[in-house]
Structure 1
Amino acid sequence: MKKNIIKISLAALTVFVSLTSCERNLDQISSINEDQDQAMTRAESFRQAMDGAYTALKGGGYYSGDTGSQLIMGDLTTDNLVRTASGRNTNFAASNFEFSSDNSQTTGLYNAAYLAISRTNFVLKYINNGVLSGTQKTNIEAEARALRAIVHFDIVRAYSQIPTQSAGAKTSIGIYYSETYSPLNNTSSRNLTVEQVYDKIIADLLFSADNITQNDADKGRLSKAAIYGLLSRVNLYKGDYANTIKYGELALGLSPSVTQRSNFYAIWKEKEGNVNDGVLFQVSNAAAEQNTVGAAYNQAVPSLRSEFVVDYDLYTAYTDNDVRKSAYFTTSIYSKQKYNHVTKYAGNGGPSNIVPIKYLRSAEVLLNIAEAYYRSGDQASALTLLNKLRVERYTTFTPGTEAGQLLLDAILKERRLELAFENDRWYTLKRLGLPVQRSGKGDLFDGTGSPAVKQTLDAGNTKWQWPIPITAIQANPNIKQNENY
């Protein structure tokens, strides 16, 4: 067995874990090379290793690169985006529902996510070695378990059914929940049901919520408010509306702003750290890292050239008095054709397409609670929350009075408008058991031009569960492939 060596960069304060088919080695270019057991005898190594776990979210298949980036996958597979005729055909197969086990567009998340999980488990392996104590220890352990939980959540909602998706979803096949650092592990299996995986995710998050004490000044690290918000998200997917409300209200109690109207444009366009109003947790992305996350949507060459543009029906759903319209879109010409480009991640005043990724915002938590209140029979509370969000998004707004199905429709409409291009739409349709039904409109600014090739995906189609990458199965034959791949 190859002995793991940890190389810690005191400048980057990061530990990297590289994944191969049979082993995970800790490796980073540095002047300090030492055995991992020795490295983890210093308190600062735990912070470095934890920051390395966060860094994994910036890898390919997660929030980096053009192909399979989670910044765009949850939208290009739905009715939110249309492929442009003038683009490079990046992610075309996924947008056309051509999912396969050897295509990184839908399989990239799997390995990237387990890499992040491996890094959290590395931290947890040493948490009780006596180096840390008191709040320093509990905060690191809480961070590691919370990050481990939400990355497992990202895997399970993509590669397994969502509990509310169908009648038998809770007892359907889940994923492997990794709770130990095991570099040579090739015997794990998908031995849990979907419900059991969700229970483990929630257990990790509850431990973290109870034990974390660090404040939320650094949005690139998990805080109590963020963890409560994540509990609200997970419980909504689970169909536990009482706990969606409970933990969502706790999150908003600690971080009540859903982003003031005057700050909304700035949270997307300003350089990292300048404006974080309403942000609970983000994947930090500084200019020095050159992680051009917005390139998944378009590039400046020098005029905007887009891979995908907003669907015309969605674009026209944003009224002119909606502050989100100017924050999310730019209408301009490329190659003599006019498009409604998605420029939510283009940045402003710094390097193009290098911005932090908003993983969780208070606005989503509010929408989670509003939907849960509605489904629990408390329409008055649902409407109050919905109006709280809408007054911060429209320059002129008269409080709504919707009730019944119209209220639910309004909540879901605002969810689509608010969370467009934030990896939500595919999973909202999936958890609600709804099909993809595209508008049939084209890629040009007025809805003409080339429409998507495939227009529909039935709610019962097995493609709602993405394929496990064939490389993962080859490395570990115990991992069962999803149906019909």
Structure 2
Amino acid sequence: MKNKVIKQILFSTLILLTSCRDELDVVPNDKIIVDNYYTTESDFRKGLDYAYDGFKIAGYYSGDNTQLIIPDVISDNLIQNPQGRRSNSDAFNLAFAGNVGAVTSLYGAGYAVAARANIVLSKLENLPAGAARNNFEAEARGIRAISHFDIVRSYAKIPTQSADAGSSLGIAYVDTYDPFQLVTRNLTVNEVYDKILADLLFAEQNITQSTTVGKLNKAAVQGYLSRVYLYKGDYDNTILWGQKSLQLSPSVGSIANFKNIWNDTSSDGVLFKVLNSSLENIKTGSAYNQTVGGQIKSEYVVDYDFFTKFANNDIRKSSYINTSEFSGNIYNNVIKYKQATGKPVEAVDVKVIRSAEVLLNVAEAMYKKSNEAGALLLLNKLRAQRYSDFVDGTEAGVALLNAIMLERRLELAFETDRFFTLKRLGLPIERSAYGPYADGSGNPANVRNLEASSYKWQLPISQTAIDNNPGIVQNPGY
């Protein structure tokens, strides 16, 4: 009965938050019941599980404008299929405008996840001091850090993006639960990153949960620290925390297991994932395509120039891509989220962070710190588990950096990375001149470039959010 009560309360809280989509202004049904609920460790575990479930909110990892597709739609990995529904057309055409709706609903979804974590944190005094309480706090602060990191990298500059990025407009870091709170963007980018890192460092020191990759554990938090420090341009700490994570979870996913990672029969190399099920089935692959008459009808297909970068002996090619016909035309379709076993085919678990990314973070940071031997060793370790009959590479200098970045693009394709990699490196978007069909024929994208200096790298906050909370400042340019 208690579980039903708390879920109803938190669900009501979430509905009130997301009904206004992007503002944090929530009022629970009965705060007294919430107060009375958090009295046992079981209560706190259920509250945390509900916070984890928040990642499945529409606009986060569920829906057409999910984080699983938007960063690739905006950049150069995908091209729109003219036979699809034309979903996310504004994002693909780089037609961002704050007054016509948001490119993505992440702003509201991210703060909803943070609110769920903050409810748990606000009740910690109900538990006796000790390891269990510290672990609950660690998980909640880790969840809160992840949600804020996704918001800040989308709606503000990344510290390495430009010389002025660190001191530029950040976001609100909501670290208390107040149902009447209206947030303001009162922090710089650097200040936001400091708060994210403070939460993650606390989590790393205090987390003891290790039973499932569906919850944060020490290796996952360490891996996430490597990600945040890479974005911050702190390469020493990228290496430090990445190596710690790899020591605890050294496998990057073996070539024998790799396909099974994507049908959810293996978690080899997965540090943290959002669990999906037959009952929940958030249809993680529907933003990419649907099945119509036994054929794949794609919204977006793999850009041909990018497709040609997958070698035939690369296990990722067949794991991520299916070349097949739809209505008389042949396409290179993304199937990364369409292969679940033992549940609906689209109910694929969302892999939030994997050891392969952590390895690539460390390799890139080592290169930046002039440790080319260490970077090459890591790169070869990854490539040995992706290419059949692989022979160690011997790249050096710029060729080594290019090889690291190519493997990053191939490995993390369609996993939220591409747009943010270009953004943090201060690089432009340069789309190919190929069309959507499997051989590259057809009409190319209408908009093929975005300069590195464009204001559009910072996504617009929806006008609805600003109307509901005038304290939210729109990004410059919109």
Q: Secondary structure at the match of 1:206?
A: helix
2:298 corresponds in structure 1 to: 306
1:220 corresponds in structure 2 to: 214
2:459 is the counterpart of 1:466: yes
Comparing 191-200 with 11-20, greater Cα deviation is found at 11-20
Provide closer, same or farther for how the CA distance between residues 73 and 27 of structure 1 changes in structure 2, counting only shifts above 3 A: farther
Contact 1:309 1:340 in 2 (8 A): yes
**Out of 411, 429, 446, which is 2:404 matched to?**
411
- Superposition deviation, residue 99 in structure 1: 1.2
* Structure 2 residue identity aligned to 1:64: S
2:351 is the counterpart of 1:358: yes
The two structures, once aligned, show a CA RMSD in angstroms of 1.9
Determine the C-alpha separation between the residues in 1 that align with 2:208 and 2:112: 26
TM-score by length of 1: 0.93
- Superposition deviation, residue 65 in structure 1: 1.2
Determine the C-alpha separation between the residues in 1 that align with 2:29 and 2:416: 30
* Structure 1 residue identity aligned to 2:443: S
**Out of 192, 206, 226, which is 1:232 matched to?**
226
**Out of 122, 131, 134, which is 2:130 matched to?**
134
2:277 is the counterpart of 1:275: no
Q: Secondary structure at the match of 2:185?
A: coil
Determine the C-alpha separation between the residues in 1 that align with 2:318 and 2:5: 41
1:182 corresponds in structure 2 to: 178
Determine the C-alpha separation between the residues in 1 that align with 2:286 and 2:6: 28
* Structure 2 residue identity aligned to 1:202: L
Q: Secondary structure at the match of 2:181?
A: coil
- Superposition deviation, residue 103 in structure 1: 5.0
2:25 is the counterpart of 1:59: no
User: Can you list the C-alpha shifts for 1:173-207, whole angstroms capped at 9, x where unaligned?
Assistant: 11000010011112x31111101110110011001
- Superposition deviation, residue 352 in structure 1: 2.3
Provide closer, same or farther for how the CA distance between residues 27 and 378 of structure 1 changes in structure 2, counting only shifts above 3 A: farther
TM-score by length of 2: 0.95
- Superposition deviation, residue 263 in structure 1: 0.4
Determine the C-alpha separation between the residues in 2 that align with 1:305 and 1:455: 24
2:343 is the counterpart of 1:341: no
Count how many residue pairs are aligned between Structure 1 and Structure 2. 469
Determine the C-alpha separation between the residues in 2 that align with 1:119 and 1:211: 20
2:245 is the counterpart of 1:247: no
**Out of 190, 194, 209, which is 1:195 matched to?**
190
User: Can you list the C-alpha shifts for 1:255-295, whole angstroms capped at 9, x where unaligned?
Assistant: 0000000000110023xxx3100000001111111211100
- Superposition deviation, residue 25 in structure 1: 3.9
* Structure 1 residue identity aligned to 2:37: A
2:389 is the counterpart of 1:401: no
Q: Which segments of 5 or more consecutive residues in structure 1 lack a partner in the other structure?
A: 1-5
Determine the C-alpha separation between the residues in 2 that align with 1:160 and 1:61: 18
**Out of 61, 66, 69, which is 1:69 matched to?**
66
**Out of 48, 53, 57, which is 2:46 matched to?**
48
Contact 2:27 2:180 in 1 (8 A): no
**Out of 181, 198, 209, which is 2:204 matched to?**
209
- Superposition deviation, residue 124 in structure 1: 0.5
Q: Secondary structure at the match of 2:330?
A: strand
2:95 corresponds in structure 1 to: 98
Provide closer, same or farther for how the CA distance between residues 297 and 386 of structure 1 changes in structure 2, counting only shifts above 3 A: same
1:294 corresponds in structure 2 to: 285
User: Can you list the C-alpha shifts for 1:104-150, whole angstroms capped at 9, x where unaligned?
Assistant: 55240000000000111100001112x34422111110000011011
Contact 1:8 1:15 in 2 (8 A): no
2:3 corresponds in structure 1 to: 8
- Identity %, equivalent residues: 50
Determine the C-alpha separation between the residues in 2 that align with 1:23 and 1:149: 20
Contact 2:340 2:348 in 1 (8 A): no
Determine the C-alpha separation between the residues in 2 that align with 1:330 and 1:84: 15
2:158 corresponds in structure 1 to: 162
* Structure 2 residue identity aligned to 1:325: K
2:453 is the counterpart of 1:476: no
Contact 2:428 2:450 in 1 (8 A): yes
Contact 2:209 2:215 in 1 (8 A): no
Contact 1:14 1:52 in 2 (8 A): no
1:3 corresponds in structure 2 to: none
Determine the C-alpha separation between the residues in 2 that align with 1:13 and 1:257: 40
- Superposition deviation, residue 10 in structure 1: 8.0
